[in-house]
Amino acid sequence: MTEYIYLIPILPLIGFLINGLALNRLPKSVVSAVACGSIGLSFVLSVILFFELKALEPSSRVIEQVLFPWISVGSFHVNFAFLLDPLSAIMILVVTGVGFLIHVYSVGYMSHDPGYSRYFAYLNLFTFSMLTLVLADNFLLMFVGWEGVGLCSYLLIGFWFEKKSASDAGKKAFIVNRIGDFGFLIGMFIVFWSVGSLNFNQVSSIAPTVFAFGGTLITAACLLLFVGAIGKSAQIPLYVWLPDAMEGPTPVSALIHAATMVTAGVYMIARTNVLFMLAPDALMVVAVIGAATALFAATIGLVQNDIKRVLAYSTVSQLGYMFLACGVASFSAGIFHLMTHAFFKALLFLGAGSVIHAMSNEQDMRKMGGLKKHLPITFMTFLIATLAISGIPGLSGFFSKDEILWKSFSSQSGHPIFWVIGFITAGLTAFYMFRLVYMTFYGQERMDEKTKSQLHESPKSMTIPLMVLALLAVVGGWVGMPHILGATNYFEDWLSPVFSHGEAVNTHALLSSTADSSMEWLLMFASVALVLVAIYLAYNFYLKKTSLSTAMKEKLSGVHKTLLNKYYVDEFYGAVIVRPIIYFSLFLWKIVDVLIIDGLINGSATVYNDISEFLRQGQSGRVRSYATIFTLGVVVLLAFFMTD
Amino acid sequence: MTLDLVIFIISALTAIFGALMMIFQRNPVASVMYMILSLVSQAVLYMQLGALFIGAVLIIVYAGAILVLFLFVIMMLNLRQTEDMDSDSTPISKLAKFLVSGLLFLEMLFVVRGSYFQSSVETGLLSPQIDDFGSVESVAELLFTTYLYPFELTSILLLTAIVGAVVIARKPSNEDPVEILPFDSDDDEFKSAKAAE
Amino acid sequence: MTVPIDAYLVVGAGLFGIGVIGVLVSRNLIILLMSVELMLNAANLALIAFSRALNLMDGHAFVFLVLTIAAAEASVGLAMVITLYRNHDTVNIDRFSILKW
């Protein structure tokens, strides 16, 4: 079966071609069957391949499939090849699995949209790009997928392009991503320049011999690659596009801007873990940025009123966790959180979509409330996801988050400060998530009568994916239980062959196993306690005594306003980056282009015009003067021949 | 001074005079008349050179047919006095035209006086005439033997000319309007250039 | 036979020059066409003269062919004159400046 790896990305591509080229001519049932069917087949294939891979010896779990040589110029050789190893196996399972559920969900969610087949074409194209990204066996092919998902993200954010804000958000996402891509490209060039290959396996084996440990070059390369990851995964300072990306359809937010695409940065760092392990300074930067983003985005999430924006900042915050994990050299924890986050965040977004669907496209939580009894399935699944993201023991989020917190504390490249930040963030996460739940599902019904009369539970095609995801959000974490609970961390063992190269080059980076288990217990209890306190606070503030929250708001109005306006980062970027660029562009346009370049071109044209105007006199159109000149020519020629 | 010379001088001068009057006449009918005069004089010169048949053909075909055709066209178009013909050419350009023509004439004189034929025509005097020089028989023999191929081609040329003349001069009927504009009138650039002028 | 051949050639050259003047100076399209005929005839005269001088009949055959061409030219030329007159209501050659762009 392993020779069919290429089918996994190709199937969604075929779906895209069918839906994209048919241009709305197919009936909706066919469109959805093609779209869901192609990715469903991909998922089945991924599962089969996963078990085939599992049947192999752990050390030989690397399958490379070279489809054809892609570029071969001089010493530069790139194959169009796919790489299936434990890491990419996890990723394709997540992408196709969650992607399939979201496709199914979209059938119901988008059923009344005029751009139905366009939507599914984009969604399939996205899945193709994402699978190319995770299955690529070299940097260049990965970059193709990387750009492809960026493009699809742009297309899907601006899906309702007739809305100005949506098309603006699409452009913003694309441009901000370009900044990151620039870093990725340069980093890629450095790697090729030094190693002479772009193949991941070759880079992993050659890099330790060509790069000095902690040297400037490798640090620069890693930082540039990380810039790419920052852009794609919405970390400080390039996170600004993700909250705006919520202009897209909600299933898109779930698939692209929560579960899969934004995790590409984390995946890329995990994939190039050898390089990062060679550059401890770069790892440090990754951890610092991750931690800072986690805390920063969580504080903004505290006060947002748009249900999707809260989730968006929550996503940024959780991505910060993943980078924190990578930064403390615990890549498997990062990937673990990536996976569990994909489950519960997709579920949260889809639940929010269900709410928005029921509320006639209202996204403001202040106009919701009391939806619990109207949307029972949505409420139950949403609550499960909230408990999971908050880190309630037993649910998936708990295990992954706890592992990250523990690693950031105990790892050799970690630091207690990272743990403190992660710890506070966990509390904030629980607080804003339960604030969301209380404002949406409990309390008074604040919507108007018309909306209220139309409240309805979503159709089956939407609730079934919710239930499947809820199940995954519960059990998804059980594969990675910590050792102290007496279980085996299957997840870490599964991924260990991928990260063994990295650990080999930097044996100090990871934790010394001397860390005592009592400390781990203590920290675990502390975070659980904090989460419970946060939930209680949210309960008090937003359900029991809502006056408290308004009082707090007035007391800390300055802070509240700052948070509500997202620390004025957008305004800051506007003033410092966008405005000067606009003025500079104006200068280039009005002065350089219009005056100098156009002047030169028009000037030369004018010169020729004048010359032609002069020469035109000779071409009077009068036959007689032509004849005269003709005769003159005869005379001259005769004279010439006679004197010869 | 022999009779030959007298006839030559008279007919040569008449030919030149007729030609000059032809080009400087304002009235095209008179122009045609002077052209006929010139042609008849030239026919005399031909005959003097022994080309009796060609001379006769010149009078019959040229004076009798072609120039009548000219006359016919002039009558048909009713070109009595050449309408104003506003003189837009300056005296300088007119002078230049005479100068160019004069130069061409001078060059031709040089060619005539040059040594091109001196090997075969020793003194420029006419050689003795052979027996049937210029007769219909000898001309016909040449045309239908040596120059048969050009002769037949000429017939095709004439046919083409007839068809061409008919097609060109035909009055365009309303059913198939003939596009006489030199440019594609759909061409926007052309239109705008026209409008700009 | 005392007239030298050069004399005939000079007359031919003269007629040809007059024809050129006619083409260059005349504004009447019909006169212009006649000038062209005149030039052809001047060439014919020269051909006859050479034919006589070389005692060869070939010149006569050429003249015969030139006459045919002159007739063809006159018929097509006059047909064009008619069409032009029909469209522009004039035979003034300076009015026909459509050769200009």
What are the sequence ranges of the domains in chain C?
5-95
pLDDT at A581 over 50: yes
Give the Cα separation of A283 and A276 in Å (integer).
6
**Amino acid identity, residue B2?**
T
Query: Which residues lie below 8 Å from residue C76, measured CB to CB, with a gap of 6+?
Result: B161, B164, B165, B168
Residue A624 pLDDT exceeds 50? yes
A546 vs A21, which has greater pLDDT? A21
Question: At A574, phi and psi to the nearest 5?
Answer: -60, -45
How far is CA B44 from its chain centroid?
17
pLDDT of residue C2: 65
Inter-chain touch A624–C98, beta carbons under 8 Å: no
- Tokens of residue A324, six digits: 């924190």
How far is A415 from A324, CA to CA, in rounded Å?
A: 11
Residue A596: CA count within 13 A, CB half-sphere: 6
Considering only the beta carbons, identify the residue of A625, A628, A638 that sits closest to B107: A638
What is the complex's ipTM, to 2 decimals? 0.90
Per the CB < 8 A criterion, the answer to whether A352 and A250 are in contact is: yes
Averaged over A123-127, what is the pLDDT? 93
In C, minimum Cα distance to A618 occurs at C100
Continuous H helices in A328-459: 331-358, 376-390, 396-410, 416-441, 449-453
Q: Could you read off the pLDDT of A262-282 as tens digits, one per residue?
A: 889 999 999 998 898 888 889
**Cα A273 from Cα A264, distance rounded (Å):** 14
A79 DSSP assignment: E
Helix (H, G, I), strand (E, B) or coil at A621: coil
Query: Under a CB-based contact definition with an 8 Å cutoff, are residues A40 and A153 in contact?
Result: no
What pLDDT score does C99 carry?
62
DSSP-derived 3-state class of residue A210: helix
Tokens of A317: 């915050």
Residue among C7, C33, C48 whose CB faces B54 most closely? C48
Q: Indicate yes or no: CB of A631 within 8 angstroms of CB of B101.
A: yes
Q: How confident is the model at residue B195 (pLDDT cuts 50, 70, 90)?
A: low
Q: What is the token pair recorded at A407?
A: 């690693």
Q: Is C28 on the interface with B (CB under 8 A)?
A: yes
Q: Mean pLDDT across chain B, nearest whole number?
A: 79
Percentage of chain B beyond pLDDT 70 is: 73
> Strands A63-73, A76-84: parallel, antiparallel or unpaired by DSSP?
antiparallel
Query: What average pLDDT does chain A have?
Result: 87
> Which residues on adjacent β-strands are paired with residue A364?
A306
The model's confidence at residue A151, banded by pLDDT at 50, 70 and 90, is very high
A628 with B89: Cβ contact below 8 A: no
| A603 C-beta neighbours (distance < 10 Å), count | 10
With cut-offs at 50, 70 and 90, classify the pLDDT of residue B178.
low
Q: In angstroms, rounded to a whole number, what is the distance separating the alpha carbons of residues A225 and A223?
A: 5
Whether C74 has its CB under 8 Å from any CB of chain B: the answer is yes
| Percent over 90 (pLDDT), chain A | 31
A150: CB partners within 8 A, 6+ apart:
A173, A174, A177, A178, A181, A232
Distance from CA of B175 to the nearest CA of C (A): 18
Please report the DSSP string for A181-207 in residue order.
Answer: HHHHHHHHHHHHHHHS--BHHHHHHHH
Instruction: Report if pTM > 0.90.
Output: no
Distance of alpha carbon A541 from the chain centroid: 33
Burial class of residue A586 (count of CB atoms within 10 Å of its CB; 0-12, 13-18, 19+): exposed
**Strand, coil or helix: C71:** helix
Residue B119 DSSP label: T
CB B13 within 8 A of CB B37: no
Structure tokens at A624: 């007689």
Query: Which DSSP letter does residue A626 get?
Result: H
Q: Secondary structure of A117-153 in the HEC alphabet?
A: HHHHHHHHHHHHHHHHHHHECEHHHHHHHHHHHHHHH
What's the pLDDT score for residue B119? 45
Count H helices, E strands: chain C?
Answer: 3, 0
Residue A143's CB is within 10 A of a number of other CB atoms, namely 20
- List the structure tokens of A269: 């760092």
Report the pLDDT averaged over residues A53-59.
85
Subunits with 3+ Cβ pairs within 8 Å of C are A, B
CB-based contacts of A165: which residues, under 8 Å, 6+ apart? A247
Which one-letter amino acid corresponds to residue A173? A
Judged against a pLDDT cut of 60, whether residue B190 lies above it is answered with: no
Answer whether the bond into residue A459 is a cis peptide, omega within 30°.
no
Each residue's pLDDT tens digit, A83-99:
998 999 999 999 999 99
Higher pLDDT: A515 or A342? It is A342
The closest CB to that of B158, out of C17, C61, C72, belongs to: C72
Over 80: is that where the pLDDT of A517 sits?
no
| C-alpha–C-alpha distance, residues A626 and A631, integer Å | 9
Kindly indicate the confidence band of residue B80, based on its pLDDT and cuts at 50, 70 and 90: low
The predicted pLDDT at position A222 comes to 92
C23 vs A616, A620, A627: nearest CB:
A627
- Residue C77 reports pLDDT greater than 50: yes
Report the candidate in A17, A508, A608 with the shortest Cα–Cα distance to residue A283: A508
**Mean pLDDT (whole number) for A560-589:** 83
- Biggest CA–CA distance in chain B, Å, is 73
- pLDDT tens track for B45-69: 998 888 888 999 999 988 888 899 9
Give chain C positions within 8 Å (CB) of B12: 7, 11
DSSP of A6-68: THHHHHHHHHHHHHHHHTT-S-HHHHHHHHHHHHHHHHHHHHHHHHHHHHS-GGG--EEEEEE
Residues of B with CB below 8 A from C91's CB?
77, 79, 82
Identity of the residue in A616, A619, A623 whose CB atom sits nearest the CB atom of C96: A623
Question: Above 90 in pLDDT, residue B38?
Answer: yes
Among B92, B107, B111, most A C-beta atoms within 10 A, so best to mutate, is B107
Side chain identity at A323, as an amino acid letter? F
Q: Between these two residues, B110 and A11, which has the higher pLDDT value?
A: A11
CATH fold, domain C5-95, is Helix Hairpins (1.10.287)
Measured in angstroms, the CA of C1 and the nearest CA of chain A are apart by 31
Q: What is the mean pLDDT of residues B8-28?
A: 90
Flag if B139 and C13 touch (Cβ within 8 Å): no
Q: Is the pLDDT of residue B179 over 60?
A: no
Q: Phi first, then psi: what are they for A436, rounded to 5°? A: -60, -45
Q: Does B41 lie at the interface with C, CB-CB under 8 angstroms?
A: no
Q: What phi and psi values does residue A34 have, to the nearest 5 degrees?
A: -65, -50
Summarised one tens digit per residue, pLDDT across range A415-459 is 888 889 999 999 999 999 998 988 888 888 887 777 777 788 888
